[in-house]
Structure formats: structure tokens, C-alpha cells
Amino acid sequence: MRRVHRLTINRRTALPLVGGAAVLGFGGLYLTGLAVAGDAIADGTHVRGVDIGGMSRTEAKTALDRALGPAAAAPIELRIGDRAEKAAPAAFGLSLDTAATVDHAARAGADPFTVIGRLLTPAEKREVEPVIRTDGPTSTAEVDRITAAGRDARDGDITFEDGTARATAPVTGIAVRADQASDTVRAAYLRPQAGPVALPVDRKPPTVGQQETARALKEFAEPAMSGPVTLKVAGKTVTLTPAALGKHLSVAPDAQGRLVPKLDAKGLLAEPAVARQVAAATHPSRGATFRVDSAGRAVVAQDGRSGVQVTEKAFADAVVPLLTRTGTARTGEVAVTTVHPRLTAANARSMGIKEKMSSFTVNFPAAPYRTTNVGRAVELINGSVVLPGETWSFNKTVGERTKENGFVDGIMINDGRYVKSPGGGVSAVATTMYNAMFFAGVQPIEHGAHSFYIERYPEGREATVAWGTLDLRWKNDSGHAIYVQAQSTDTSLTISLLGTKKYDEIRATQGPRTNTTPPAKRTGSGPTCEVQTPLEGFDVAVDRVFVQGGQEVKRETYRTHYTPRDEVTCDAPQTPAAPSPSANPTGPAAGQPGRA
């Protein structure tokens, strides 16, 4: 009889045994999977479309550097409104870390389920995001450039050229939101996207839009250029062509944003073709002129004359309303103004212009530039009337010494040497005026001597001027009006002050030269170099003595410091600009005491 043996399993021990076997089997599969895979990246692993599955870490990094590196370093295309810009990722501290990306991909494929799944099932595609570093140094300058790449709003405008009106389209202003720009660029870095990265912006519409620009063009600008404007000025005709009008016409928005016309009446009146016509219809006022008789009395040589002038306001008021009209309606009349002279024969004596207060003459070597510049300054000074308490200014009266004002290049002192400069030679006029003022006994306000002494002028009693830095000014404290009489020749000029003497006599006394300093030698070159003869530097004091009733009643001392006049030679021979040391001053300046 056979014995049958039965295996009895205790249910309490059966489950642990089965579970242990399963764990041992799972662990074995995991270890087997690791052994099979080795150091390779899990199959099916992709980074932005780059397949690195089955590669070692080194191979995977090389593949990513090759495939993604250029794109990671390429400039990021940006859009700021409708403008395109580019920025390097490094400027925003951005870079691709391929080594960290590979580490991340390897760790993501090393979990047990993924490893065992690689043994039992075909590999599935897995996408791993690249590791982006955002901790690099940010270029403040580059970020500022990007955020400043917006544009200001531009109003619609209308310009006039060659008698034609042209509209300029308005533009909406765009401002980059600087506090959001960096975050936007970082968020878009290496992300798949269609087109440039749009930076966040604020938009500012123009004050004058397209509709208003079109209205102004149709209602004003085009009619303004439709034909000439004809004006009547003191009975004479003045014609303004569209080309002349357009050069001085513009539009500007008012408080409500409407484009309104703006006419530069001053510029239009100065247009040569317009100025000639207006001058033919008007004439300036002319003050009375004087001569001095043998007894030293001021006698009226020619009485004053009233003038007829057109003011800028009157001109604009007449022109602007005509611009939108057509045909014969583009004709109007300009109101003129009668201008009375400041000085006439009738009021001359009541103003105290009755005698010569002082007169002074300066002689100088003849030179074409000096004749022109001295003559022009004399022309502008002659006939000046200085009322009691007023201050006379050389720079204000003569103006800037430019070609447009009638002056030419001449010789002047700069940095202790003679150089060519516009208006050279007018210091002779300044010196003459200074001495006329000195001997008239009026109050000096501002004056300055030459840096070194010039022999044709009296020591310590001469003046120079420079536009914008040094003026010659004096105040009329005589109690009566003063009339300035100036005249010149090719080699001399004389300035006389006519009015009422406050003192019987003004004398000048000069002290000796002190603190003398020898000159040095210098060599110059170039077209502005001028030969210069040497002269010592020194200090000198001059007293102005006021005499009344034969007695001295007041004394003023003026001290002048002269630097040495260095000897200057030029590389190329030049015509000497300095006067001969033997040149002597003439007129009251030559004798001391001088006399008014």
C-alpha cells in the first residue's frame, strides 16, 4: 500500500514567504536593469528634441552642446512695440547648463520602475527640460539699452517747404516696463515660440492725432500755400510769395490739441525780398545831429525826423487771417506806427546838450581790416543819446563783431600774443571812448586794459573789449543828457561827448612805471601766427583830477598792470602786427595833464 504524503502549509507563514520571493525578484530585475544599462541615459530620453537615450553622460553632454549650444548663445529676438531688438542671453545672466541637464536626465531615468520597464517593455519617448542658469552677472548697460529702446510720442505736424505743405504722421509713444523686462526675457529663454519675445510696454497716444493733422492740412496749410499774399504798407504794395511765407510758417497745438498757425513775423520781415519792399514803404526815425562851433558850443546840424515803421505784431495780425482765403481775398493792409526821434532840435537844449564836454582822438597805422572794423563801430556809436542815470555799453551799442554785423577778421591780443580774430582793431574805438568818458568826468562802470601795453595808447588810460566777457560801460551822472559824436578816417578816430559840463576841467596825472618785468621769447607757427616785438611789463597809476573854480575838488586813482609783451617769431615770415615802439599817441592823450 502506497503512502501518500501531503504538504501542509501554515497560512501564517505562507504570505511572508511569497512576498519575500517577489521582493527578491523585483530587486533582481532592478539590479539586472542597472547592470544592463550601465552609465547610459535611459532610452527614449530627449531634451528639446535632441535624442540622448542610450548615451553615456559624456556623450549626452557633447550632443547637447552641439545641438543646443549655438541656440543658447544666440541673441534673443525681442519686439518693442513695432520695433525689433536683439539682446545677448548673457546680458540677462542666462546660460544653458548641459552638464546639469544630463545629470537631471540620468537621475530621472534611474528609478526602479523606469529601469525594470526598460528590461520588459520597449522604450518610450521621455522629454527632459534643459537646466537654465539664471545666476550669471547681469549687464546693467545692456538692460538699460533695451528698456530705453522705446520711443516718445510724436504729435502730428505740418511743415512747409518750397511753397508746399507736408503732413507728418503722428506716432504713438512706447515705453518698456523696465521692472518686467528681465523676467519676460528669462521666461522666454530657449522656449519654443513663434517670433520674437514681446516685451511688456506702456503706450502713450500723441496729443495731435491723425484726424487733427488731416484737418489742419486741409483747412489751413494747403490754403496758406495756394498763392501769394498782397499787403498795403503806407500806400505801397508788398507781395509775399508762398515760398517766403512757408520759410517762416509753422503749426503748433493749442491747449485743446488743435493745430493752430504760428508765423515768425520777425524772420519774414528779415527775408531779403520782403525787407526790400517794406523798406521802400517805410523809413526809420532819425535823431537830431550836432556840430561844435568855434566856441565849443553844440549846434544842431540837422533836425530829427519822425519815422514810419511796421511792427512784428502788426505784420502778423495782417498776414495770418489772409492765409486761408483765396484769390483777391488774399489782400490786406498793414497798420504802420509813427516813431518819433528821441532827440530833436526843440528838446536838445532842454535836455542839456549845449556844449562839448570832452573829445579824444587816437591815431593808428592804416590797415584795410582796421579801417573796416573801426568805421563800422563808429557808425553804430555815432548819435547815441545817453539820458541822465542811464549806462552806456560798448557791447550793447556795437553788438557782436561778426561778419553779419559788418566786421571782418583783424588782429587782436589773445593769451599774451597777437592773433587773427573777427573784429580786430575795435579796441582803438574802446580806448577812444574810454578817454572821452574819462575827460567828461562821468562815472566808469566797467573797463579793462589790454594784457600788455600798446605804444600808441596812453599808459593806464586805454581799454579793450571782448564779446561776452569784457565790456566798456559808463554811467551818465552829469545830470543832463549826453550826445555821442563819433567819426573816423583810415588812420584816426575821434569821439566827442556833448552835453553840460559838471566840472570846469578834468586833468590826468600819470605816475612812473613800477614792478617792471622783462619779456621772454617765443616761436609760433601756423596761419594765425603774428610777429610780435618785445616790450617790458610794468605797473602804472593814473589819477583823474576834478577841477572846479580853479581848485581840485576830487581825485580818483586808476591802477593798471601790464604783462610783458614777449618777442614772437613765426616759422614762416609774417607781416608784423605790433606797432613800432616809436609810435606816439596824439590828441589830449599825448599831453599830461590832459584836458576835456
Distance CA 53, CA 61 (A): 12
CA atoms within 13 A on the CB side of 498: 27
CA distance linking residue 516 with residue 453, whole number of Å:
12
The DSSP string of 150-218 is SB--B--EEEEETTEEEEE--B-EEEE-HHHHHHHHHHHTT---SSSEE--EEEE--SS-HHHHHHHII
Decide: 477 and 442 in contact? Cβ < 8 Å: yes
Exposed, middle or buried, 357 (CB in 10 Å: 0-12/13-18/19+)? buried
Specify the pTM.
0.57
User: What pLDDT was estimated at residue 71?
Assistant: 84
pLDDT in tens, 409-447: 876 555 555 556 666 789 999 999 999 999 999 999 999
DSSP assignment string, 32-89? HHHHHHTTPPPTTEEETTEE-TT--HHHHHHHHHHHHHHHHHSPEEEEETTEEEEE-G
Only one residue has cell 525689433, namely 84
Residues 123-176: tens digit of each pLDDT: 578 888 899 888 878 778 877 888 888 888 999 999 999 999 999 999 998 988
Per-residue DSSP letter, 478 = S
Grid cell at residue 538: 610794468
What are the boundaries of each domain within the chain?
Answer: 34-147, 211-339, 349-589
Closest CA to 224 of 198, 263, 258, 256: 263
Could you read off the pLDDT of 462-477 as tens digits, one per residue?
Answer: 999 999 899 999 999 9
- For domain 211-339, give its CATH number from 2.60.40, 3.10.20, 3.10.50, 3.10.350: 3.10.20
Helix, strand and coil content of the chain, in percent to the nearest 5, comes to 30, 30, 40
Query: What pairing do the DSSP bridges indicate for beta strands 409-414 and 417-422?
Result: antiparallel
**What's the mean per-residue pLDDT of the chain?**
84
- Is the torsion defined by CA of 88, 89, 91, 95 positive or negative? negative
Residue 365's closest CA among 583, 76, 44?
Answer: 583
Return the pLDDT at 595. Answer: 29
The model's pLDDT over 73-93, given as tens digits with 9 standing for 90+, comes to 888 888 888 888 888 888 888
